[in-house]
Structure 1
């Protein structure tokens, strides 16, 4: 049956069996807490000894009752052993819970660190909700590995072997009759363990898709409501929930056989013991006390067997989840292939060199990003509301985005990048910041190839304002201190007033601690953009990269913003992307881009005369 469920944009092609992990990959998570694990193993052995002694003592009690001998201290000792076994098991349970929680914590910390250091291309190709699901849901399944029978396997093995030996001594014939039942149960559970792991991997993938769908719907709720698309989004997310439900049923079906096997083995074995054992008591082959003792050891042997079955099931589920965790952990970090040690001090200032220079730069997005964008384009192609998005994504995914781009930005100058959508303007800023590396040519910072500089040192030279710069949940000061953690409240206030956000401070008695809400919902679009600019200005970098920084401002605030930028631009280099030419006509140089190529360079007046594309843009905006 074909899968016709609607998927969210930017989802990746599915692999229904999901990534797989091996038990060897699980061991480092367990061995990281080897001290607690050893303590649990020791306690499980002690508890096993207390447990194995009890049937023997009960057999002695029954034998003494039959022979009418005094019980003496047997009852007291039996109660003491029961209490000791309970106390030991309770503390062992606490250690297991603590170790399980610690495993989840360590796995989450590994994942968080790796995710936050992944190349930007991975974020462009993957869904945010799926990554969140791996940190939250997948890591939780590792908890079950310790708390459902694996860590106390030493004690359980001792109980199993001890009970087996005791039963062999009491009545080997009776033991042989139930051995067939136990062997069959173990074989069946082992056969189903692989199916549980595969089904769990698929389930976790579906849960990741559900989280991604919810994240997309909530993050775009205003646009969805305004577009009348609430019902369609509800259906899409509901389909994801249904898919997760069906995957959960597959896990339930695979594990439904495993869970009752221990109980079934116990019931059949008990019936065998009662039937065959009763006949042997009747013939005088064994005594009633021996039969009772045998039956108790049977219970003790079945208990660790059931625990082992549960451990196999939980390990299978954990390995399915660990496969998804390991898939992210195996991804290289952003600076994995850099030849310069991260954090090393590398001088970037050169004598007489341009601040930034592009020399025959070519760039093509990585294949995983291209595939994600093509799939996104296909997903939205059928929607008239999203037709423009489909067109943009399809064109951006086809071939080189930059085709031999060359230009220079002198120190202290203001350079503007203009051109139609998809011309490669934002990609140029992304390459300067080394979110991606050029696939051909060179990008120089004061004469140094940016690929020879540590990313941290390189990015410290720039203040970067994205076209849709995010506003972090928290306060105004929290957003400003993202790039300047040591900035004072006074510094924050000066930066806010410099970009005409003084009224936001004045309208709330908390000042720079005024909350902005989730995604800056308590600010207007223009205020969010000015806040992003204030954040860049506060860090006082030598080079400012502004991507459509005034696109959300009205005429008055645009003029004030230009004045603020003019004030802080003294002694700094600016590279500005703008569709509204009125904001950049006074730039020292304007670089005109079309289809990934530079088609013109010069001042506004020069380009009006020399470059047809620029002249057309200027005419449409009534600037000529």
Structure 2
């Protein structure tokens, strides 16, 4: 509406100027017409300001929507997609690519749509004044438009390549910053700087190539203006001298010419920015078009959020009864032809503590990832109380599981925010209870901010053992019927290991616990120990039983001085 109003106010100005000139030439008072002209100019300015504000606000809204969708999509992609892609590149699509799309909206696209009205109105006015001059003008303009359309196609290709180069640079920076201590300790700082400089140069080179094409496009608008103006001035001057055209009409025609050229410049700008935005938009759509993890839950015969047979809906903080977990001929591989787990079958009885042990690379952590449904088995099935996990929604399944990963990730923020991640309604007393259980409460009480003490980026303010204990406390606070622990004592000293053993024994009451461990001292008291070797089950039993029946387990125990 503002575009239409602004176009009308602008198109009325040359008509008013024409009347001013005719009034002066005939000796009539031009004051009323001059007042109308002033009001038209002021009105067009106010409408333009309002339109620009709404345009900027709308562009921000579009970017906000795109970023919301991208963030929602990124956090719901299957884990395999995150395994296959670089984090920095994904982050750049939320920041850099959406900014390029915003530029398309504010860089002339909407203005060009509104300017089309002015362009059309100016053409009509020029046609009524002098069709010959209009034909000369259009001849110059059409050549310019053709050149812009051809050259702008190159900009789309180069912009996408430039954005991909920026994504690689962001991924490289994220990689280096996250491992800055390792890089410095390895004396690799110069090599990493050189690697990132190479990526930066690549992004720069693509940017320069985009600028080169743009440098060809920008003068075209100016040449179109100058060429058409000189042609109109020359031919129009001749027609005025011959009496075929009035001076007032020539002045009005030239004003219409400038009104036509202004939206033409907006069109040139819009073509360039839209072509650039299409490259960035393609990268955004690539991510938005990927299947989401929750889409895989929509199996035939059930709706999203409905548990499968035998699975009861369970909210965080409601432990419920212990659950049984069983593996039936499970085979899984990250890459075709290289199984990590091979026809694995065993059962974790409800309410028991079961340990998974074996050499590194034997598939122990993968086993826990399959229970969490970060991946699904290639063959066979995993059952929870008799129900196939694939018949359950991931949301319902994960509400029943507490999971502590091997690397014990801690999110930037405070201790409280990390604890409440899986149990947002837990009170302070419950938080202090689980911190005490993992021998971390005294450490936090020394800090003046207590539970609101910051942990730093990736938990940099905590030691490795403290990060691991905080992650375990977070799972204990969720109070789920199934607890998965991946190397829970890997970063702990003997004192804290003993405290954690006591915490695990306490937590095991009334729930099923599955522990992956290299330290056999962590699991000697387990109800059942499962021994894996290269993804295959080699033995099950208690610690004492396995010392007599499993050669592999006996070797592991001997190396750790347990026999």
Q: Could you state the TM-score of these two structures normalised by the residue count of structure 2? A: 0.94
Report the CA distance between 1:616 and its aligned residue. Answer: 2.1
- RMSD of aligned alpha carbons: 1.7
Instruction: Write the distance in 2 (CA, Å) between the matches of 1:477 and 1:518.
Output: 15
Equivalent of 2:326 in 350, 357, 362: 357
Equivalent of 2:401 in 457, 462, 478: 462
Greater shift in the superposed pair: 597-606 or 407-416: 597-606
Instruction: Write the distance in 2 (CA, Å) between the matches of 1:299 and 1:136.
Output: 38
Which contiguous aligned blocks of 4+ residues in structure 1 show a shift greater than 4 angstroms? none
Whether contact under 8 Å (1:353, 1:446) holds in the other structure is no
Instruction: Write the distance in 1 (CA, Å) between the matches of 2:213 and 2:358.
Output: 57
Instruction: Write the distance in 2 (CA, Å) between the matches of 1:507 and 1:154.
Output: 63
Counterpart of 1:320 in structure 2 is: 279
Whether contact under 8 Å (1:195, 1:254) holds in the other structure is yes
Counterpart of 1:531 in structure 2 is: 470
Equivalent of 2:110 in 130, 143, 151: 151
Whether contact under 8 Å (1:199, 1:251) holds in the other structure is yes
Equivalent of 1:223 in 182, 201, 219: 182
Structure 1 residue 583 and structure 2 residue 552: aligned? no
Greater shift in the superposed pair: 480-489 or 451-460: 451-460
Greater shift in the superposed pair: 607-616 or 450-459: 607-616
Counterpart of 1:185 in structure 2 is: 144
Whether contact under 8 Å (1:342, 1:455) holds in the other structure is no
Report the CA distance between 1:246 and its aligned residue. Answer: 1.3
Unpaired runs of at least 5, structure 1 = 1-41, 371-396
1:370-412 Cα deviation digits (max 9, x unpaired): 5xxxxxxxxxxxxxxxxxxxxxxxxxx8611111111111111
Report the CA distance between 1:353 and its aligned residue. Answer: 11
Whether contact under 8 Å (1:45, 1:154) holds in the other structure is no
Instruction: Write the distance in 2 (CA, Å) between the matches of 1:408 and 1:587.
Output: 14
Greater shift in the superposed pair: 568-577 or 435-444: 568-577
Structure 1 residue 50 and structure 2 residue 12: aligned? no
Alignment of 1:1-400 (within 5 A): 42-338=1-297, 339=299, 340-345=302-307, 347-348=310-311, 355-365=324-334, 370=335, 399-400=338-339
Whether contact under 8 Å (1:474, 1:515) holds in the other structure is yes
Alignment of 1:419-498 (within 5 A): 419-498=358-437
Whether contact under 8 Å (2:232, 2:254) holds in the other structure is yes
Greater shift in the superposed pair: 423-432 or 149-158: 149-158
Instruction: Write the distance in 2 (CA, Å) between the matches of 1:348 and 1:43.
Output: 57
State the secondary structure of the residue aligned to 1:188. helix
Whether contact under 8 Å (2:322, 2:351) holds in the other structure is no
Instruction: Write the distance in 2 (CA, Å) between the matches of 1:407 and 1:207.
Output: 48
Q: Could you state the TM-score of these two structures normalised by the residue count of structure 1? A: 0.85
Instruction: Write the distance in 2 (CA, Å) between the matches of 1:471 and 1:165.
Output: 67
> CA 1:133–1:316 in structure 2 vs 1: closer, same or farther (change >3 Å)?
same
> CA 1:516–1:154 in structure 2 vs 1: closer, same or farther (change >3 Å)?
closer
Instruction: Write the distance in 1 (CA, Å) between the matches of 2:236 and 2:227.
Output: 13
Whether contact under 8 Å (2:322, 2:510) holds in the other structure is no
Report the CA distance between 1:345 and its aligned residue. Answer: 4.9
Report the CA distance between 1:99 and its aligned residue. Answer: 0.9
Count of residue pairs brought into register by the alignment:
551
Whether contact under 8 Å (2:356, 2:530) holds in the other structure is yes
Whether contact under 8 Å (2:322, 2:482) holds in the other structure is no
Whether contact under 8 Å (2:322, 2:481) holds in the other structure is no
Instruction: Write the distance in 2 (CA, Å) between the matches of 1:273 and 1:360.
Output: 85
State the secondary structure of the residue aligned to 2:31. coil
